Structure 1
Amino acid sequence: MTYGLRKAHKLIWLLLIATAPLGILFATLGIKEPVLTDSNLKISSASGDRHLIFENEALTTFLDPTGDFNGIQIFVKQPLPSPAAIAYGVSLAKPKGQFLGVLDKKGVYNFKVDKSINEIKIYDEIKEETLFNIEILWD
């Protein structure tokens, strides 16, 4: 390496050492979504019209049939076996299912559904297999 290359090499490394921490700082400040931990994920018991319809180690599902809004609330407590899990609302009229949303990470998911839906199917699109079938019994 010549003297000019050594000098340029040293200058580039000094600039990288100075700017890398700033880049990390700005990257962490740029995260808009708060990080969800287990202590943040508090599952309250069923109350009022809201009642539990399914629970296992990975999911807890509540049904909230209040007025015009028929809500399904899914708590994903730990990462699902598939990163491509999609929730479908299955009814007799739509056996393939109505797309509700994607369950991609730990957290709380709220979906608005019709009373015609009698099952929630959580499906892995990549492996083409059903992960969970959640039966809904409307009162």
Structure 2
Amino acid sequence: MTSGQRKAHKFIWLVLAVAIPIFMFITIKNLDFNRSDDNDITAVKTLNEKFIKTAENDLIKVNVYKKYIEVILKSPLKHASSVVYATSNQGKKGQALGQLTTVGIYKFNITDVPTGLLVYNPLKELEITKLTF
């Protein structure tokens, strides 16, 4: 390395040492890290509300309320792109409600109470599980 390259290398690293923390601060300053308060409030609301219908299998548990459906994913899915659909009376795929990714509780807004629920992988065109209420 020549003396000019050493000076340029030193200058570049000094600029990066100052610029990286500034960019990190700018990117994370608007993120909301206090989500636990919202989850506690919704958990209390969920406990006070009574579900209309419920169904369960070894993969998911579903509670249907007046305005939303709560899907509890018990174990990880083998397919990352799984979509939840409301089913019609004939058991056919209806309105798409949302996507399931990891184990947890998912809430999807609804207008009408469906007769069942279908977890489907649209990429592989594979039906993962189906529940009727």
Do the two structures share a fold, i.e. TM-score over 0.5?
A: yes
Residues of 1 paired with 2:94 and 2:24: CA distance?
A: 43
User: Percent identity over the alignment?
Assistant: 24
Higher helix share: 2
Kept in 2: contact 1:76–1:107 (CA 8 A): yes
Matched to 2:62, the amino acid is T
1:20 aligns with 2:20: yes
Q: Secondary structure at the match of 1:122?
A: strand
Q: TM-score, normalised by structure 2?
A: 0.68
Shift of 1:129: 1.6
Match among 92, 95, 98 for residue 98 of structure 1? 95
Match among 72, 86, 95 for residue 69 of structure 2? 72
Shift of 1:132: 2.2
Q: Count residues with an aligned counterpart.
A: 129
Q: Secondary structure at the match of 1:97?
A: strand
Kept in 2: contact 1:124–1:130 (CA 8 A): yes
Residues of 2 paired with 1:107 and 1:119: CA distance?
A: 18
Task: Note the residue ranges of structure 2 that are not aligned, 5 or more in a row.
Answer: none
Q: TM-score, normalised by structure 1?
A: 0.66
Q: Measured at CA, do residues 45 and 29 of structure 1 come closer, stay the same or move farther in structure 2, by a change above 3 Å? A: closer
Matched to 2:109, the amino acid is F
Task: Within 5 Å, give how 1:34-45 maps onto structure 2.
Answer: none
Shift of 1:86: 0.8
Shift of 1:110: 2.3
Partner of 1:135: 132
Shift of 1:87: 1.0
Task: Note the residue ranges of structure 1 that are not aligned, 5 or more in a row.
Answer: none
Partner of 1:112: 110
Q: Measured at CA, do residues 6 and 122 of structure 1 come closer, stay the same or move farther in structure 2, by a change above 3 Å? A: same
Q: Measured at CA, do residues 33 and 59 of structure 1 come closer, stay the same or move farther in structure 2, by a change above 3 Å? A: farther
